[in-house]
Amino acid sequence: MKILFYVLICFVAAGFFGCQDSDGPRNPLLGTWENRSYVDSLDVWFVHSLTIKNDSLMEVKNFARKSETGPIIGYHSIADSWYNYQENRFTYYYSEGLFYFNGNKDTYVASRYGPKESLKPGILDFFRIPEGELIFSADGQSFEFQEDCWSINADEECVEFSPMTYILVN
């Protein structure tokens, strides 16, 4: 009878601790986000995709499509990345990944994008780390990333970056 009592206590305790909600709010970045740019002279959509996996890891992909949401026609890179998001400040960094190094010089798309199977391991040496303000839309389905301006040293003029809008795709 004592064994049954202890087993029952264990089940109740496991149920109590296993069903508690997280103390903090859910990470608003979790999911896959895409920044899509159409280049009419090439008739191609270039996509920069961020798949946020948890509170510090994400996957960064660069690929091309013939239509905005259609199938991928080629990859430029796929890399695991580390990020930090605190008080609307977003920073990310990656160095190792799979990159497309081959290509046909006849067209811009063919020279920069290829089949996923042809991506090769490589290391990217950032001359800067993307960092800036991240602002969510009211419905939480998109955000704008305004990267901080960049300069080599304090005496030089700062290079401004255009804001990038990402939409949640899943």
Over the stretch 39-66, which tens digit does the pLDDT of each residue have? Answer: 998 899 999 999 999 999 999 999 999 9
Extract the tokens encoding 114.
């290829």
Nearest to 121 by CA among 168, 72, 153, 77: 77
What sections of the chain are H helices per DSSP? 2-18, 108-112
With beta carbons less than 8 A apart as the criterion, state whether 105 and 149 touch.
no
For residues 76 and 64, is the Cβ–Cβ distance under 8 A? Answer: yes
Q: What is the mean pLDDT of the chain?
A: 84
Dihedral of the CA atoms 52, 54, 59, 65 (nearest 10)?
A: -30
And the tokens for 94?
């990656």
Distance CA 54, CA 84 (A): 11
The structure's pTM equals: 0.78
Determine the pLDDT at residue 158.
Answer: 86
Buried b (16+ CB within 10 A) or exposed e, 66-75: eeeeeebbbb
Count of beta carbons in the 10 Å neighbourhood of residue 138: 6
Per-residue pLDDT of the chain in tens (170 residues, 90 and over written 9): 555 544 445 444 555 445 445 555 578 999 999 999 999 988 999 999 999 999 999 999 999 999 999 999 999 999 999 999 999 999 998 878 999 987 666 666 667 898 999 999 988 766 678 899 999 999 999 999 999 988 777 778 888 999 999 999 98
